Amino acid sequence: MVAQTTFVVGTRVKISQLGALQCPDLANKTGTVVEVSLRTTGITVLFDGGARPTCLHQDYLSPLG
Protein backbone atom coordinates (compact mmCIF):
# COMPACT_ATOMS: atom_id res chain seq x y z
CA MET A 1 0.00 0.00 0.00
CA VAL A 2 1.31 3.45 -0.96
CA ALA A 3 1.20 6.14 1.72
CA GLN A 4 -1.05 9.03 0.66
CA THR A 5 -0.03 12.61 1.35
CA THR A 6 -2.87 14.82 2.52
CA PHE A 7 -2.87 18.19 0.80
CA VAL A 8 -4.64 21.22 2.24
CA VAL A 9 -5.22 24.66 0.76
CA GLY A 10 -2.09 26.76 1.18
CA THR A 11 0.38 23.85 1.02
CA ARG A 12 3.48 24.60 -1.08
CA VAL A 13 4.08 21.83 -3.61
CA LYS A 14 6.39 20.77 -6.41
CA ILE A 15 5.97 18.27 -9.22
CA SER A 16 6.81 14.70 -8.15
CA GLN A 17 9.00 12.34 -10.17
CA LEU A 18 5.90 10.70 -11.64
CA GLY A 19 4.47 14.12 -12.48
CA ALA A 20 7.70 15.12 -14.21
CA LEU A 21 7.54 11.97 -16.36
CA GLN A 22 3.92 12.54 -17.33
CA CYS A 23 4.08 16.35 -17.64
CA PRO A 24 7.66 17.32 -18.56
CA ASP A 25 6.71 20.98 -19.11
CA LEU A 26 5.86 21.22 -15.39
CA ALA A 27 8.93 19.32 -14.15
CA ASN A 28 10.65 22.18 -12.30
CA LYS A 29 7.61 24.16 -11.24
CA THR A 30 6.44 24.91 -7.71
CA GLY A 31 3.17 26.37 -6.54
CA THR A 32 0.46 26.61 -3.90
CA VAL A 33 -2.59 24.38 -3.45
CA VAL A 34 -5.73 26.49 -3.98
CA GLU A 35 -8.38 23.76 -3.95
CA VAL A 36 -8.68 20.12 -2.92
CA SER A 37 -11.47 18.00 -4.36
CA LEU A 38 -13.39 15.95 -1.81
CA ARG A 39 -14.78 13.58 -4.47
CA THR A 40 -11.80 12.97 -6.73
CA THR A 41 -8.01 12.79 -6.51
CA GLY A 42 -7.66 16.21 -8.17
CA ILE A 43 -5.58 18.92 -6.53
CA THR A 44 -5.78 22.45 -7.97
CA VAL A 45 -2.47 24.30 -7.89
CA LEU A 46 -1.56 27.87 -8.77
CA PHE A 47 2.01 27.63 -10.02
CA ASP A 48 4.40 30.47 -9.20
CA GLY A 49 4.03 33.13 -11.90
CA GLY A 50 0.93 31.44 -13.32
CA ALA A 51 -2.23 33.34 -14.22
CA ARG A 52 -4.64 30.39 -13.86
CA PRO A 53 -4.66 27.36 -11.59
CA THR A 54 -4.03 23.83 -12.88
CA CYS A 55 -5.76 20.66 -11.65
CA LEU A 56 -3.49 17.62 -11.30
CA HIS A 57 -3.75 14.14 -9.83
CA GLN A 58 -2.37 14.06 -6.28
CA ASP A 59 0.32 11.53 -7.27
CA TYR A 60 1.83 14.17 -9.57
CA LEU A 61 2.57 16.47 -6.59
CA SER A 62 4.79 16.34 -3.54
CA PRO A 63 5.01 18.82 -0.67
CA LEU A 64 7.95 21.20 -0.56
CA GLY A 65 10.31 21.06 2.37
**What pLDDT is recorded for position 5?**
66
In which order are the strands placed within the sheet that holds 61-63?
A: 54-57, 42-47, 30-36, 12-15, 61-63
Output the pLDDT for position 4.
Answer: 59
Q: Are 45 and 33 in contact (CB under 8 A)?
A: yes
Whole-number pLDDT of residue 65: 77
At residue 6, the pLDDT reads 81
The CATH number that domain 12-63 falls under is 2.30.30
Domain locations in the chain? 12-63
Contact of 35 with 9, CB cutoff 8 Å: yes
Q: Give the pLDDT of the chain (65 residues) as one tens digit per residue.
A: 444 568 999 999 999 999 999 999 999 999 999 999 888 889 999 999 999 999 999 999 999 97
pLDDT for 1 equals: 44
